[in-house]
Structure 1
Amino acid sequence: MTELGERLIVIPARGGSKRLPRKNVLPLAGKPLICWTIEAALATGLAARIMVTSDDDEILSIARRYAHKGIISHKRPEELATDHASTADALQDALDAEQQAGHPAKTLILLQPTSPLRTAEDILAAVREYEENGSSDTVVSVSQVDHPTAWVGTIAENGQLQGLDLSGMRSQDYQTEYHLNGAVYVASVRTLRQRGNLFTDDLRASVMPRERSMDIDEAVDFRICESLLCRD
């Protein structure tokens, strides 16, 4: 049986955002964006500690509303809140804080707050994939691409579109492809500590439907997510 402190769910949320300012606290279908991820993490029922790590007092204040449910609010150092600081740096800091608090984690579950349509079942599916296959390979959530990557190219300085497959094949004639959707990552703490990132040489995939794979980066993404949530 997994002990409570062996799994750590981390929800990293910076206060700054260039493309969509203050996105993590913007009201989405009636509650701040970050609440959707906090509540999905709680709904899993996993034996896990759940931490929101942020540089921003408003975000941490929102997280503290869930303190009675076990949510941990961690104020990260200012140097880990810049555009140059990586998610891996924030995760290392979160693990250090847990270690100092007497809760050395073995498994790390990363949930980006910009994936509000991700459900508790999506998280559980990724954790099952990780644990049922030996907890050695990192599991990443993926979704099927809208169009074959053979139809993706670059534009040269002279305006020419380059690198496309112009054979005329139909989309269904290509092999099914998937891309990282950024919603769920499950990895061993050892991997992060040794490699400085979450990725093992061999990754395992946990497939999510496209309709739950929205990643909010710009205002248009936010509006699409809100329309989907309000529709439901």
Structure 2
Amino acid sequence: MSVAVIPARGGSKRIPRKNIRSFCGLPMIGWSIRAAIGAGCFERIVVSTDDPEIAEVARGLGAEVPFLRPAALSDDFATTIDVMQHAVGALGADGCVCCLYATAPFVRADDLARGAAALVAGDWDYAFPVTSFGFPIQRALRREADGRIAMFDPAQERVRSQDLTEAFHDVGQFYWGRADAWRGGRSVYGPRSTTILLPRHRVQDIDTPEDWARAEVMFRVLAEEGRQVDGG
């Protein structure tokens, strides 16, 4: 069984109600649901929420909400692993289970399918998308209170950029995982995880109103170019 679980709690702080706020003409969570439907690899698409309004919106968009998440798993301290452990247990899921974030409007159906293929291609616990940093992380700086700066790793200052190891970061869209890996609380960032690569122009955190505004502009540009349509 392949199941998509979309965590969507009601208590978002920095952007209130962001999981169901309209984003480019659709409730934000709708883009994730639409991509999951378009991927064609899920037997069930389930939203894990503590919020009746989010549940109603999710059902209207084609997802299931077979349970309401306990309040203890819906506060600021609950982790993705905590939420997925609960969902996998509540659903009695086996096989492959994908944690798909509700605030991932740039997620595409074909990327979800690629992630599924990567997971089953080897003996992996998890598979998820990453993208490259736009600047060498070895030259990262810290800024002191008085304005002065210092390198985190001064030894890298004179190394040529092309000789620095390329670094990547988690895109924050979805995580395919084996049900037993979720159930066992295994780390997503461990040695039994593999990745797929996404271009940087399709990656955007949405944590602040400024992030939201930037993401809508990016989304519309990609839609006009035919590179971001219906989550596919």
TM-score by length of 1: 0.86
- Aligned residue pairs total 219
Match of 1:220 in 2: 210
Q: Greater CA deviation, 211-220 or 29-38?
A: 211-220
Residue 195 of structure 1: aligned partner: 185
Cα drift, residue 61 of structure 1: 1.0
Deviation readout 1:83-122 (Å, 9 max, x if unpaired): 11222221122112212xxxx3221211112221110111
Mapped partners of 1:203, 1:98: distance in 2: 23
State whether structure 2 residue 100 is matched by structure 1 residue 111: yes
Q: Residue 199 of structure 1: CA displacement?
A: 4.5
1:97 matched to 2:85: no
Shift of 1:230: 2.0
Matches of residues 37-52 of structure 1 in structure 2 within 5 Å?
37-52=32-47
Please tell me whether the aligned partners of residues 55 and 78 of structure 1 are also in contact (alpha carbons under 8 angstroms): yes
Q: Which amino acid aligns with 1:42?
A: I
Q: Is the 8 A contact 1:14 1:81 kept in 2?
A: yes
1:184 Cα deviation from its structure 2 partner: 1.8
Q: Which residue does the alignment assign to 2:227?
A: none
Identity of aligned residues (%): 30
Tell me, yes or no, if structure 1 residue 146 matches structure 2 residue 134: yes
Task: Extract unaligned runs of 5+ from structure 2.
Answer: 224-232
Confirm whether residue 80 of structure 1 aligns to residue 73 of structure 2: yes
Corresponding position of 2:226:
none
What stretches of structure 1 of length at least 5 have no aligned partner?
Answer: 1-5
1:25–1:59 contact (8 Å) kept in structure 2: yes
Counterparts of 1:168 and 1:210 in 2: how far apart (Å)?
A: 27
Q: Which residue of 2 aligns with 1:3?
A: none
CA distance in structure 2 between the aligned counterparts of 1:196 and 1:177, rounded to whole angstroms: 23
Task: Indicate the RMSD between aligned Cα atoms, in angstroms.
Answer: 2.0
Tell me the CA shift for residue 152 of structure 1. 1.6
The DSSP-based 3-state class of the residue aligned with 2:58 is: helix
Q: 1:150 to 1:24 in 2, by over 3 A?
A: same
Contact 1:114 1:217 in 2 (8 A): no
